[in-house]
Amino acid sequence: MTIRSALRSLIQFALFAILGNPIRAENPDAASDPAVKPPASTETLPPVPVEARAEPATPIAKSPPLRVHVGILLLNVGRLDTSTGTYTMDFYLTMRCNRPCDPEPFELANGRITFQQLQEQLPDYKAFRIQAALSVGMDLRRYPFDRHQLGLVIEDSNRDANSLVYVAETTRSLIASDLQVAGWELSPGIQTHVEPHYYSIFDQTYSHYVASVEIRRPLLASLVKGLMPAIIMTMCGLISLLMSSDKFNQRLSLSTSSLLGTVIYHLTMTSAIPPVAYLTFADRFMIGNYSCLLLTVVTTMLLMHFIDRNDTARTEFVRKWALHVVPPLWILLQIINLIQL
C-alpha cells in the first residue's frame, strides 16, 4: 500500500467519525446515557370529523296499540244444522278507533263473510252490514236437552295484538227484538268479550272479539218428541210382566216387539246428530230401556223353561221377582241418568 492510499483511508475514516453520527457529535453523552430519549415527534393525527363521531343510540318510543271499540246488532240467526254445526248470521257491525284509523281488513276466525257492505264512514268510525256462514263445535252430552253458544269471532287480517286491540262495547251490543231461531229457545241478551289468541305456528298473538247468543231446545218439546215414544214402548214391554205365567207366547211377543221398536227409535233419534265419541243423555236413557226390556225377555224364557218342567215353585218365584225388580230398576236407572244431566 502506498503512502497516498493510506492517507486517503485515514481522511475517510475521520470524516465518517465526525459526520456519520450528528447526534453523538452534538451530544456525546446521549449515546452513553440510557435516560436520554430522542425528541418526540411534533406531528399529530388529523382531528376526527364531527360526522364520524359515534353518537349514543337513542331508544325509539314504542307507540301503544290501536284500540278499536266494536259494537254489534244481531238481526238474524239462520237454521242451525246440528249434524254439521253450521249456521248463518246477519248483523250490523260498528268499529270506532281511539284515533283516526282504518279498522279494515278483518276476518272471521270461525267462518267466512258472504256479504259485506259499508254503511257509514268517518275518519275514526266505520259501520258495516255483514252476512256470514259460521260453525261451532257441538257439545251434545245433554241431547235432547242440549244448549249451545252461537257466536262470531273477529280478528284483524294483518295486525297482531301489539298493533291492534279490540274493545267490546257492551252498551252497543244488542239483538233485534224479533229475533228467533227455528226449533230453539233464545236466551235474552248477547254476550261479548275480547280475548287474546296465540298462533304457535306464527309465534304471534291476535286480539279476538267474540259475540255470542245462547240457544236451547224447548224442554216440553224435547220431552214429548224425544223421550215420550221410548217411554211408551218401554211401558208396553213392562206390562208383559203382569200377564199370567202360562201366556208366555203373548209375553214374549210383547217384550221382543217393544225391544226392537226401542232400538229402531234410538237409531232414528240419533241420526239427527253427528257421530260423537261419548254417550249422550239419549244414549244413556235408551241403555236403561234396553236393560229392562231385555230382562223381560229373559224372564219370559225362564218361565217357558220352568213351565215345561212343571216346576211351579220356580215359575212363581221368577214371575214375582221380575214383577218386583224390573220396573223399580228401570226407575232407578233413569233417576241416575237425570242426576247426571
- Number of structural domains found in the chain: 2
Residues 192 and 334 in one domain: no
Residues 248 and 207 in one domain: no
Residues 195 and 232 in one domain: no
What CATH number is attached to the domain comprising 77? 2.70.170.10
Residue 78, judged by CB atoms within 10 A of its CB (0-12, 13-18, 19+), counts as middle
Residues 209 and 274 in one domain: no
pTM for the whole structure: 0.73
* Residue numbers of the domain that contains 289: 220-339
Q: Dump pLDDT digits (tens) for 259-309.
A: 999 999 999 998 888 889 999 999 999 999 999 999 999 999 999 999 889
Average pLDDT over residues 130-134: 96
In a domain, 108, yes or no: yes
Residues 116 and 193 in one domain: yes
In a domain, 86, yes or no: yes
Residues 138 and 253 in one domain: no
Residues 70 and 213 in one domain: yes
Q: Dump pLDDT digits (tens) for 208-257.
A: 999 999 999 999 999 999 899 999 999 999 999 998 888 878 888 999 99
Residues 174 and 243 in one domain: no
End residue of a domain, out of 217, 232, 247: 217
Q: Dump pLDDT digits (tens) for 146-164.
A: 999 999 999 999 999 999 9
